[in-house]
Amino acid sequence: EGAGRHAGPAGAEPESREGRATEQVDLAIIAVPPAHVATELLELQRLQAARFYTDVASVKAEPIHRAAQLGCDLSAYVASHPLAGREKSGPGAARDDLFLGRPWALCPTEEADPEAKAAVLRLIELCGANAVEVSATDHDRAVAVVSHAPHVAASAVAARLADATDVALGLAGQGVRDVTRIAGSDPGLWLGILSGNASPVAEVLEAVAHDLADAASALRALAEGDGTATGEITQLLKRGVVGHDRIPGKHGGPASSYAVVQVVIGDRPGQLARLFQVCDEVGVNVEDVRLEHAPGLPLGIAELSVEPDAAATLSEALRERGWQVP
């Protein structure tokens, strides 16, 4: 398999855009913003760059519709989307395990050749991802809920910090960092994504805005002495817990409940390695880890998520080795 090389017209030696002869590849991967997928596909097919084509844009319905309008050969094209992005961009943010165990949607049309679909499935397998076949429309509605609208919501929260006082920022903890992490992504990139999936994202944001408006009204009433207003806020918080618990857990399986072991850790080289060494020595697998730094101090808290029946064993082993476990 290969990607990004271009071939010449029918009956001619394949050639690149620079005019260099090259061999036609099995699969070309189109990695451009959603609005440019169809035109790039048309050009690649004109040059006979590959036998089959896919793309990795995070919007699917509009590029497929546009490709049909332009007269692209949809039998050789299977749209796809690896859901493994990061808030960082560019070659320096690349990781060899980026797709490992992550869902990778593929959206074959009725015209798609089975061999084209097989080629994309092989790519997904090579990357260690999990293939999820879904229609383009269902894909776009789904990512509006789990990716696109959350990004806008995170940006809205982060935007409040732009004019926040130094006192407020000095009190910022891990919670606000978690909520706003993805808001650090490239605005230009996200404008293209949101524009290509505008209607589904708008529907989700309208529902979120409705919940927030109701919560704000209830809080106003509570501030004015209406004790009954807590009911609506409580219901929203409970619905949030239900939704949070439905997020798939490790390796895409059912969500699991882990015990959290907190450890005071110095901000010095090698501390995490020493901490994980203890876990290895006592045979405790760390399911997840997060760090919270103490403002103004050269230390922080490491929170290790482990199986509940392993928490006591790990805590005791850490204390025996001199670690401070609150």
Whether residues 162 and 240 share a domain: the answer is yes
Whether residues 122 and 166 share a domain: the answer is no
Whether residues 168 and 238 share a domain: the answer is yes
Q: How many domains does the chain have?
A: 3
Whole-model pTM: value is 0.75
Whether residues 69 and 116 share a domain: the answer is yes
Whether residues 222 and 303 share a domain: the answer is no
Sign of CA dihedral 39, 40, 43, 44: negative
Does residue 8 sit within a domain? Answer: no
Res. 170: pLDDT tops 90: no
Of residues 116 and 290, more confidence is placed in: 116
Q: What is the mean pLDDT of the chain?
A: 88
Whether residues 156 and 231 share a domain: the answer is yes
Give the tokens for residue 310.
């392993």
- Residue 206 is which amino acid? E
Whether residues 236 and 290 share a domain: the answer is no
Does residue 317 sit within a domain? Answer: yes
Res. 16: pLDDT tops 60: no
Whether residues 113 and 33 share a domain: the answer is yes
Res. 323: pLDDT tops 50: yes
> Residue 8: which pLDDT band, with cuts at 50, 70 and 90?
very low
Flag the least confident range among 24-38, 132-146, 158-172, 289-303.
289-303
What residues contact residue 159 under an 8 Å CB cut-off, 6+ apart? none
Res. 86: pLDDT tops 70: no
Quote the pLDDT of residue 213.
Answer: 96
Does residue 14 sit within a domain? Answer: no
- DSSP lists the bridge partners of residue 305 as 260, 288
Mean pLDDT along residues 41-47: 97
Res. 163: pLDDT tops 80: yes
Rounded to an integer, what distance in angstroms lies between the CA atom of residue 100 and that of residue 125? 9
CATH assignment at residue 281: 3.30.70.260
Whether residues 223 and 304 share a domain: the answer is no
Quote the pLDDT of residue 3.
Answer: 39
CATH assignment at residue 106: 3.40.50.720
Residues of the domain holding 128:
25-85+97-134
Rounded to an integer, what distance in angstroms lies between the CA atom of residue 111 and that of residue 48? 19
Whether residues 159 and 110 share a domain: the answer is no
Quote the pLDDT of residue 110.
Answer: 96
Does residue 222 sit within a domain? Answer: yes
Does residue 123 sit within a domain? Answer: yes
Does residue 213 sit within a domain? Answer: yes
Per-residue pLDDT of 278-311, as tens digits, reads: 999 999 999 888 888 776 677 888 999 999 999 9
Flag the least confident range among 11-15, 125-129, 203-207, 224-228.
11-15
Whether residues 214 and 289 share a domain: the answer is no
